Amino acid sequence: MQSRITAKLNTQYRYRDSGLLRYVFRSIDQFAPWVNKVFLITDNQWPEWLDYSNNRLVKVRHEDYIPSKWLPTFSSNPILLNLHRIPDLSDQFILFNDDTLINKPVKPKDFFADKNSVMDSAVYSVILSNEPFSHLLVNDTMVINKHFTKSSLIKKAPFKVFNLKYGKDLIRTILSLPWNAILGFYNTHMPQAYFKRTFEKVWSLEGNALSTTSAHKFREPTDLTDWVFRYWQIQSNEFEPRSINFGQYYEQVMHQKITKDIDKSIHSLLCINDTQASEHESEVADSIIASLDRKFPDKCKFEI
């Protein structure tokens, strides 16, 4: 029998189609035409409206890169932890989920400062404890504490840690200073810049823990997430500070703020998380899609 926490980690909102994927592709095509290839990962569920003859679009099945001993899987964590195994994936890549998109023009330097540094917001923070997903973030942070100390990054790159680009969220880091250990990181839930070599490095050191998560068919409270690689890049000083306001995380219940952000192009990146909004859930989702359709009315080069 599933525990209450495990059940909450695997609700219908983890699996259903929110209707955003079409606009993810349109946003990439319109606002990031410099992207070389888009790797679309599915479990053999291919949208009929995409043009698979486009040589910039690469279909990736789970069995194309996840070891067969861990398949089938119904958890996003094994899918993301093993991305470095995708054939022909560049060392520099940006991870999009189907609820993240680009809201106005962006450049490569918004994601990668150079070949050795991603753009990110390095803010230490106490992890929230009122949501089951927080268990997974604690697990990620415990791995990081095995290999790094908070003071090591502060001594190495103090102006990256205490940077005004983080705005009021810098207070989170300041409040965490009395603790020697890394308590956690502030997560922006945005399309994330990664180095494939970071995945390979962490797998070489924490292969057992990553394999344990990869073997889970559904999300478990003991899992690691791909954010362990993000934290590793930060603690390895392989980043440059980026404004905390570069992107914005929303839940669907915040639909009025979402539509305003889309219509006015306030933030460069958006995450529109699919959660139970209200008793008028379908109307809320429809209002967001309508706003996206106004912003991206035309088919993109990835569509038939």
CA–CA separation, 140 vs 304, rounded Å? 40
CA–CA separation, 227 vs 94, rounded Å? 13
Residue 279 has pLDDT above 70, yes or no: no
Residue 247 has pLDDT above 80, yes or no: yes
Q: What is the mean pLDDT of the chain?
A: 92
Counting the structural domains of the chain, the total is 1
Q: How far, rounded to the nearest angstrom, does the alpha carbon of residue 81 sit from its chain's CA centroid?
A: 12
Look at 182 and 10; give whichever has higher pLDDT.
Answer: 182
Q: Strands 57-61 and 38-42: what pairing? A: parallel
How confident is the model over 117-135, as a mean pLDDT? 88
Which residues constitute the domain of residue 214? 4-295
CA–CA separation, 263 vs 103, rounded Å? 9
| Residue 164, domain member (yes or no) | yes
Look at 227 and 280; give whichever has higher pLDDT.
Answer: 227
| Residue 100, domain member (yes or no) | yes
How confident is the model over 224-253, as a mean pLDDT? 96
Let me know: does 153 contact 241? Beta carbons within 8 Å. no
Residue 103 has pLDDT above 70, yes or no: yes
> In this predicted structure, which of 3-7, 26-30, 175-179, 248-252 has the lowest mean pLDDT?
3-7
Q: How far, rounded to the nearest angstrom, does the alpha carbon of residue 87 sit from its chain's CA centroid?
A: 21
Q: Any residues with CB less than 8 A from the CB of 231 and at least 6 apart, and which? A: 140, 141, 144, 185
Q: What is the band of 14 on the pLDDT scale with cuts at 50, 70, 90?
A: very low
Q: Strands 100-102 and 269-273: what pairing? A: antiparallel
The reply to whether omega before 158 is within 30° of 0 (cis) is no
269-273, strands of its sheet edge to edge: 100-102, 269-273, 247-251
Angle at 65 between CA 59 and CA 69, to 5 degrees: 135
pLDDT at 130: 74
Q: Which two tokens stand for residue 272?
A: 């529109």
| Residue 203, domain member (yes or no) | yes
Look at 276 and 278; give whichever has higher pLDDT.
Answer: 276
| Residue 301, domain member (yes or no) | no
CA–CA separation, 64 vs 87, rounded Å? 8
| Residue 302, domain member (yes or no) | no
Q: What is the band of 52 on the pLDDT scale with cuts at 50, 70, 90?
A: very high
> In this predicted structure, which of 10-19, 83-92, 160-169 has the lowest mean pLDDT?
10-19
CA–CA separation, 300 vs 208, rounded Å? 42
| Residue 288, domain member (yes or no) | yes
Q: What is the band of 140 on the pLDDT scale with cuts at 50, 70, 90?
A: very high
pLDDT above 70 covers a percentage of the chain that reads: 91
Residue 215 has pLDDT above 70, yes or no: yes
| Residue 304, domain member (yes or no) | no
pLDDT at 284: 77
CA–CA separation, 147 vs 171, rounded Å? 25
CA–CA separation, 150 vs 166, rounded Å? 17
| Residue 303, domain member (yes or no) | no
How far apart, in Å, do the first and last CA atoms of the chain sit? 44
Paired residues of 191 in beta bridges: none
The residue with tokens 């990054």 is: 153
pLDDT at 69: 98
Alpha helical stretches, state H, 215-280 = 227-235, 255-264
Residue 10 has pLDDT above 90, yes or no: no
pLDDT at 13: 46
The sign of the dihedral angle between the CA atoms of 212, 214, 218, 221 is positive
